Amino acid sequence: MFMKQRKLVQIIEKLKNIVRSEHVLTSYEERYCYSRDASLYWAMPDVVVRPHTTEEIVEIVKLANKEKIPITPRGAGTNLTGGAIPVKGGIVVDMTGMNRILEINRTNLIAVVEPGVVHEDLEKELAKHGLFWPPDPASTYSCTIGGAIAECAGGMRALKYGTTRDWVLGLEVVLPTGDVIKTGAMTLKNVTGFDLTRLFVGSEGTLGIITKAVLKVRPLPEALLRMSAAFYEIEIAGLAVSKIFETGIVPTIIEIISIECIRAINEWLKLGLPEVDALMVIDLDGTREEVEKLAGKVEKILKDVGAIEIKRATTAKEMEDLYLARRAAYPSTFRAFRKSLTVDDFCVPVNKLPEAFRLAREISKKWRLPMAIIAHAGDGNIHPIWPVDVRYPEEIDRVLKCHTELSHGILKLGGSISAEHGIGILKASLIEEEYGKKAIEVMRAIKRVFDPNDIMNPGKIAL
């Protein structure tokens, strides 16, 4: 309990005057459900509130700001760096009640949504209109659009289409003072003043609560061709990515999963994937003629580099199985390791992928940690995954030391400590090493402008 009991009782009463009383959660069990996300971290909120309108959020934030109570916005809690953990207690604002798709406009190629819309629900609804929104985190079944925006989520299609920041045209945001601002526009172009939209994208709930988003959408491509390639060594799979780019081809996705994931997927889903060191999945989209032509070229490159089994998915089931293999890589590995997972997230220049894979394996071995690798390899984005039993501090400590040593190595390769999972708590101590002192000072100054009382998701991103 972070707040004094008497004050908490008063705050709860005030919250119940803002939202219906059943949307104010106070029991230990209810609050416990909001004490974790998909990271290692844990902290109990004093109270959870579930608003359904921007007006309710304004009142909640004004109350929190007046009383200087920490406030943590939360979508589905799937982030992997501790972003949704209320480290200083206070109020968790569960945004999943604001889950309406307000507009899909095929002519203007936009969709307007509330932040609690689940990614997969939007994907399905857009598909009915022949459209899609390119960011596609593998957590699609549960993560929210607000969470994806706050984390600048990427996913598989980021290779061809870019990450969330490239697909948000405008936002409505409740600032930590309770003021509501609009950023960007409903238009495909807009350069009216500073780009506040991009400032909020990836700000991890530290600058305000997103209450509405205007998304840029695209027509679904006419054709999608999927293929897989097996490799005896993951480093060779990494090299294949550079070779594909050198010919001027940029596929829609290039994903790699390591042997530990392949075995785990086969054991659970019986997909019969080849049990080699690394499996690559490639998607090409465009017109039928385009994808056919490109597929032939890609197959030749893969063969020349040393892929041992190159297969095109020829039926809907084969297409779905390959996609499922990639999407199920996290849960399958979780099931196989029988422990919680720490999923790390780095990005390296694509030509450094082989070295990054080697380094991740060497350092994990040094710290006596089994490791699986999932990579959005086309972006140079690798996710080393370590099992950890969070009941044992020694195990957590070893995972964190391994993560820190690998982070230093990735920076030396010219990489970045965060590609798409944000900084949260996990990486707060490393951000200065990537950007330097001055850049962090600038970020802190920006934070103070938005949030003079430091109430909005405090303790994150080293702010």
Q: In the complex, which residues of this chain contact ligand FAD (CB under 6 A)?
A: 37-38, 72-80, 83-84, 95, 115, 137-139, 143-144, 146-148, 150-151, 153-155, 204-205, 209-210, 330, 420-421, 457
Q: Which of 81, 384, 35, 405 is nearest to 234 (CA)?
A: 384
Least distance in Å: CB of 40 to ligand FAD? Answer: 13
- Which residue, 84 or 426, has its beta carbon nearer to ligand FAD? 84
Give the length of the chain.
463
Q: Which residue has the tokens 């109350």?
A: 63
- Which residue, 60 or 148, has its beta carbon nearer to ligand FAD? 148
- Which residue, 11 or 38, has its beta carbon nearer to ligand FAD? 38
CA–CA distances in Å: residue 225 to residues 30, 246, 314: 45, 21, 9
Please state, in angstroms and rounded to a whole number, the distance separating the CA atoms of residues 62 and 369: 46
By DSSP bridging, strand 71-74 and strand 91-94 are parallel
Residues 6+ apart with CB under 8 A from 43: 35, 85, 86, 87, 88, 89
Collapse the DSSP code of 347 into the 3-class scheme (helix H, G, I; strand E, B; otherwise coil) and give the result: strand
Least distance in Å: CB of 259 to ligand FAD? Answer: 20
Least distance in Å: CB of 205 to ligand FAD? Answer: 3
Least distance in Å: CB of 6 to ligand FAD? Answer: 28
- Helix, strand, coil shares of the chain as percentages rounded to 5? 40, 20, 35
Residue type at 428 in one-letter notation: A
- Which residue, 226 or 307, has its beta carbon nearer to ligand FAD? 226
- Which residue, 144 or 342, has its beta carbon nearer to ligand FAD? 144
Q: Which residue is nearest to ligand FAD (CB)?
A: 147
Please state, in angstroms and rounded to a whole number, the distance separating the CA atoms of residues 85 and 77: 9
- Which residue, 212 or 295, has its beta carbon nearer to ligand FAD? 212
Least distance in Å: CB of 133 to ligand FAD? Answer: 12
